[in-house]
Amino acid sequence: MNFNNLIKGYREKIDERLSSLLKEQSKKEMPGLYEPMLYVMSGGGKRIRPLLLMLVCESVGGNPMQSLDAGVAVEILHNFTLVHDDIMDNAETRRGKETIHKKWNVNNAILVGDELIALSYKSLLRTESTQIKEIAEAFTEGVIEVCEGQALDKDFETSEDVTIEDVTIEDYITMIRKKTAELLKASAFIGALIADSSDEVIESLKNYSLNIGLAFQINDDLLDVIADESEFGKKIGGDILEKKKTFLYLKALEFLKGQERENFVSLYSSDDENKIENVISAYKNSCVIESTKSEIKKFTDIANESLDKINLQNKNLLYSFSEMLMQRNY
């Protein structure tokens, strides 16, 4: 089957199962909880994590439909993190829609996040596998890593003890590994467990997915600067407005010297009305954009090299997944 058609079919199955679970839960008369929950879950999404989980399951010879409930669980968990991240970031929009805490209030948003994490476990535990204990452990470790990653992210932004000199690209990689890549690794791990993969294959798939996750997040940083706003689903330059220490920002600090560097740091920490335009211009003039693209390719290549080492029934599915993430524009 054509890869794009396969992905489309997976997405349809994921959305159907997700919709069924949400409808089942929201039959209760609790509009303050379930109306905003349905609202946020109707916002769509790329479904990257459940797609990876199902692709891994199929690539090693398993039945991807057996991994569907686990895939839905990972997608719900991901949305939980977005709801709470938006509160912490005071974000006004997500995927082109008003965020829950803006449309309702912070209390509603917190409760929705709590409900989503509970629902994610409800879906996960519907997975039929002799390794359900190991699957639940991998999933729980993913939750812990995401929370640790978000804590690091907020520390980089807000701590008075963290200066521009203290945060390095190595620190940033540690943060996105926890906040983004570890959940992708957990997704691949769970897909492989459901398919009863060998330990050797599992280790290679974990390394593959971890590096794909790093490439994915750095690409998100890049898209915040160069994407089409209507396709990206949120305002371009949001990271710049929030003064986030992204890969591009840290790479600019490496490239810029002397007064240029001081001017850039001053601009980035300001609330200048032309800040987004001027920061993006600085990125372009200092080769940060091209350097970021090279880093995305580097991690993608490392991921694919992990696949080269193992024999899989449908290995090309994962190479195609790597290519899809490299080429995405939203």
CATH of the domain at 70: 1.10.600.10
Q: What are the residues whose beta carbons fall under 8 Å from the beta carbon of 120, sequence distance 6 or more?
A: 73, 74, 76, 77, 80, 139
| Residue type (1 letter), 163 | T
Instruction: Count the neighbouring beta carbons within 10 Å of the beta carbon of residue 170.
Output: 9
d(CA 14, CA 326): 22
pLDDT of residue 158: 60
Q: What are the residues whose beta carbons fall under 8 Å from the beta carbon of 185, sequence distance 6 or more?
A: 142, 206, 209, 210, 213
CB 193 within 8 Å of CB 139: no
pLDDT tens per residue across all 330 residues of the chain? 799 999 999 999 999 999 999 999 988 888 889 999 999 999 888 999 999 999 999 999 999 999 999 999 999 999 999 999 999 988 888 877 899 999 999 999 999 999 999 999 999 999 999 999 999 999 999 999 999 999 998 888 765 444 556 789 999 999 999 999 999 999 999 999 999 999 999 999 999 999 999 999 999 999 999 987 766 666 789 899 888 889 999 999 999 999 999 999 999 999 999 999 999 999 999 999 999 999 999 999 999 999 999 999 899 999 999 999 999 887
Cα dihedral 229, 231, 234, 236 sign: negative
pTM of the predicted structure, to 2 decimals: 0.94
**Domain coverage including residue 74:** 3-327
d(CA 316, CA 65): 19
d(CA 80, CA 103): 17
d(CA 307, CA 132): 25
SS3 93: strand
Q: What is the DSSP string of 54-78?
A: HHHHHHTT--GGGGHHHHHHHHHHH
Q: Which has the closest alpha carbon to 143: 213, 57, 78?
A: 78
pLDDT of residue 231: 67
pLDDT of residue 161: 44
How many structural domains compose the chain?
Answer: 1
d(CA 113, CA 93): 16
